[in-house]
Chains A and B, each alone.
Chain A
Amino acid sequence: MKKTFRLSDARPDAPRDVHDEIEFHLAMRTREFIEQGLAPDDARRAARASFGDVDTIESALRDDRDERQRRVRRREWWGSIWQDVRLSFRALRRRPLFALSTISALAVGIGAAGAVFAVINGVLLRPLPYGAPDRLAMLWLQAPANMGGGQWPLSAGFYDQIRRENRSFASLAALRSWPGTLGDFEVTERVSGARVTPSLFPTLGVGAMLGRTFTEAEGQAGGPRVAILAHALWQRRFGADPAVIGRAITLSGASFEVVGVMPPDFSFPRGAELMRGLQFAPNTEVWTPLVFSEQDLQNYGTQNLAAVGRLAVGTTPAQAHDDVDALVAATLEAAGSQLEVGNEVVLLRDQAARPVQRGLLLLLGAVVVVLLIACANVAALLSARVNERRRELAVRMALGARQSRVGRQLLTEMLVLATVGGVLGTLFTLGGTRLLLTLAPSDLPRTDDISVGLPVIAAIAVVALLCGLAFGTIAVRRVRASDAADALRTSTRSSDSRGVRTGRRILVTAQVALSVLLLVGAGLLLRSFGRLQDVRPGFVASDAVTGEVNMPIAGAFDIQRDSPGWARFFEAFVSRVAQLPGVVAAGAASAIPLTGSAEGSSFVIVGREPERGEDAPRTAYVVAQGDYFRAAGIALLQGRAFEARDVSDAPRVVIISKALADRNFKNENPIGRQIRAGFEFTPDGGPREIIGVVDDVKLGSLDGETGPTMYVPESQMPYPGLNLVVRTSEAPERILPSVRRELRAVNPAVALSDVRTLEDVLRQSLARQRFTLTLIVSFATAALLLAVLGLYGVIAMSVQARRHELGVRLALGARPASLVRLVLREGMQLTGAGVVLGLVGAFAVAGALRALLYGVSERDVGVFSVAALVVIGVALVASWVPARRASRGNPTEALRVD
């Protein structure tokens, strides 16, 4: 056989390949038959017959070939992608500075955004961990407009009536906090408890993990004492022992049977999501049934319940609101009250989010700004880089690389960068989220629900992908075939096209503007924080320590029977503490400043009874024991403080705050006047005589109003829970062991909990503002740094491009200083434009900050000016460095044409 092998042209066409092969065979066979003597047509037919079913075989072969070709092509494609990725890594390794700056800019931007998004996802977006959480709503009363119109807790009377008569809730439950003690162990430990109606768990749609939840019978008066444990408490104190069901535990001195353990992550009510005044702990650890006596159900005035309900199918919160409104109005009218009490039906998820929504969204805005600035930096770096490589890319295309292939390689490079940046960013997000959680104020709601889970990672991945695609597209657009010849022709001195340069300048201007925006925000918040810290709280925070002391109350209590015991206990305990060495003064109060835990009530000045149709004035009230005012450092302005002679059967006394005195006794002496208070536990006690006036104290928060306050002695109105306040001559914490010893000596069943110094109290009251401030300042700093880097880059590149021109100037005798001025002017032009834009933008959006500011107008001229000056100053330095380098340049070198 003659064998001749040629470099044959490829036959990628499968059908032709197969067809020709078979044709050849048939032709040879036909010739064979012709040689044997057949006529040509017969020979052909015989050949075909001898072959078999030609068409079937041909199509089978053809399909087979097609399939193989497809598989080969796919493998080739993946191979080229992999090659692109490897090339990208190689290219990035050759320019480590570029790779590093791009990746870090992306990582920081994406990481910060991811962390903030994780917080927002947990607090605002994620559904609450209850059954069908969108149907759950909190029910509150609403204070009349002249009392602030805020949320009021329900009273047992209202709750019961609404529960029976409403038509919009499928189920309703009530709850109140219960600071109990768990006394099964050597140390009596304080537990965060809640007393709840048995309907709570079905309403929330969550069942027990072990055992069961409460039955209706257990919610009736006289029912058995049962308790349900939270998962965390069960693990911590009971060693996750399943035999805990049926066991008897001692809560606040009484025996309760454990009937159930809740699943992990369930700790409703969570204090941060509800009104502070109701004093729910951040996480509830034990639940006991809330039982209403006959007396309670008739009581419409004592408001101490939170209520949560599941809206009936098809009912909106607005409809539920109107329904309850009608019920409340009817009740008030029947009672002859003129109060205009409304109600609020708030979806549970909004209840949690409401206080922090604005702050969080502000944070999101700030972090998006930082991300944008980072992306702008990357875009600038990228365009500079593509420009550098124009020659390389042109050579490649001249050698035959397809434009699309080169473009794809650039795109891959960007995607690789974005992926690495995204992965690093995820690490930052993980760390950043943890950092945020440690810094976060304790009243940030739903901190349990904040985690870096799938939604956050998915968001990061999407952002990184978008960045990669966006930058890649920019890079690819730059690569045009017509550039090829142009790039090859020019000198090695790479110069940017006009369009590219303008683009970069716009980017830098935008970056400067955005960082001015953030700086203004940070400045406003900083100033506001400073003002807050200047507010006189009304007490002396140094050298004092405080802790909660609660009498163990296991269930319903009888005021007449139990209250003398409380008074005796606190009298004994506080006086013993007062005699400890190192103690300057000791006292206790039902509500200490800055905790928002004081309750309110109405009062009447004897001789000034309100007219018909007029509402009695209201005041906050505090029960005090011992030398409270001296211990807390509250100044006594007039009269005297409580003394030992103010016992229960002595004349009833009261001390008022300055605000109350100013408002009601404008030009008179309040001492000696009589007041009838609406909060008396024993209503027939008679009026109280004002014996003293003390300075105002911020009971709520530093930026809150200073309202009127009344103080009554514990001996005359016993309260089961007081906050001990001890002023010491040395370090306050050192006194604690002795205090605890005295407490155990007086009553071992009582625990001292929530111990902190008054400095802590002051600091923690500002925790939320401090948190926001810290974050915004960090973001502003990051933004400024990034913007300045961008500016530096632009100026440096511009100087580089103008080397020739500057060299000529130098050679012609220009002074170096004038060159510096030239370059500086360019920098200042960009900065100036950016600053103006930024100030205008800040002016426009400053209104969003108003709710977060205290004592500072959102258009504060000082802050705006300082922000502008800071940016200009920093930009000046950033421009000066390349300017100086330009002025030092060697003219001969610059003039050299290469």
Chain B
Amino acid sequence: MPGSDVFTGTLDLLILKALTWGPSHGYAIGRWIRETTRQALVIQEGALYPALHRLERKGFVSEEWGESESGRQAKYYKLTARGRSQLRTETTRWQSYADAVARALSVV
């Protein structure tokens, strides 16, 4: 499949980011990631759910069953205050990481 593997830490980051748009269920998060990265990032959908459960255990997201737009019952995840600050921290770290790699690679 085209696109690169997504490391676990990055997946968590993407999920948190996805949730800043409001509570979503696992499927919607997966779609968001696919669409916003323009198919460049392909994730194993199965990896989403362990990641979501892990985030819930750490207290970055909270979960709740609700009614989806299709009428079915779905499990919604919501960003908590801790999750928000975690997102900020991780984003900053990711940026510095990415900048560092870019700088290294741009040396001719």
Contacts and interface: CB of A to CB of B under 8 A. Distances in A.
Given A1-B69, A29-B27, A52 B46 contact: yes
B73 A20 contact: yes
A4 B66 contact: yes
B45 to A, nearest CB: 5
A496 to B, nearest CB: 52
A78 interface: no
A73 interface: no
12 contacts: A1-B68, A3-B22, A5-B64, A8-B66, A21-B75, A22-B49, A24-B25, A24-B26, A25-B27, A28-B70, A52-B44, A52-B46
Interface in A22-65: 22, 24-25, 27-29, 50-54, 57, 60-61, 64-65
B47 to A, nearest CB: 7
Interface residues of B, number: 28
Interface centre among B24, B49, B57 (most CB of A within 10 A): B49
A28 B70 CA distance: 9
A54 B72 CA distance: 20
Given A4-B66, A5-B66, A8-B66, A57 B46 contact: yes
Interface of B: 22-28, 30, 44-47, 49-50, 53, 57, 64-70, 72-76
Given A21-B74, A25-B27, A3 B49 contact: no
B70 to A, nearest CB: 8
B92 to A, nearest CB: 28
Contacts of B72: 24, 27
Contacts of B26: 21, 24-25
Given A1-B24, A5-B64, A57 B49 contact: yes
Nearest to A3: B23
Contacts of B46: 51-54, 57
A68 interface: yes
Interface string A118-134: 00000000000000000
B47 A68 contact: no
B97 to A, nearest CB: 27
Interface string A1-18: 111111010010000010
A11 B53 contact: no
A24 B70 CA distance: 10
Interface residues of A, number: 28
Contacts of B50: 57, 60-61, 64
Contact of B65 (A2, A3, A8, A60): A8
A340 to B, nearest CB: 89
Nearest to B21: A1
A61 B25 contact: no
Contacts of A25: 25-27, 30, 45, 49
Given A20-B73, A61-B49, A1 B44 contact: no
B75 A52 contact: no
A3 B23 CA distance: 8
B67 A4 contact: yes
Counting from the closest, the 7 A-B pairs by CB-CB distance are: A52-B46, A2-B69, A8-B65, A28-B27, A57-B46, A4-B67, A25-B27
A31 B45 CA distance: 15
Given A4-B67, A8-B66, A24 B73 contact: yes
Contacts of A17: 75
A51 B43 CA distance: 9
Contacts of A29: 27, 45
Contacts of A61: 49-50, 53
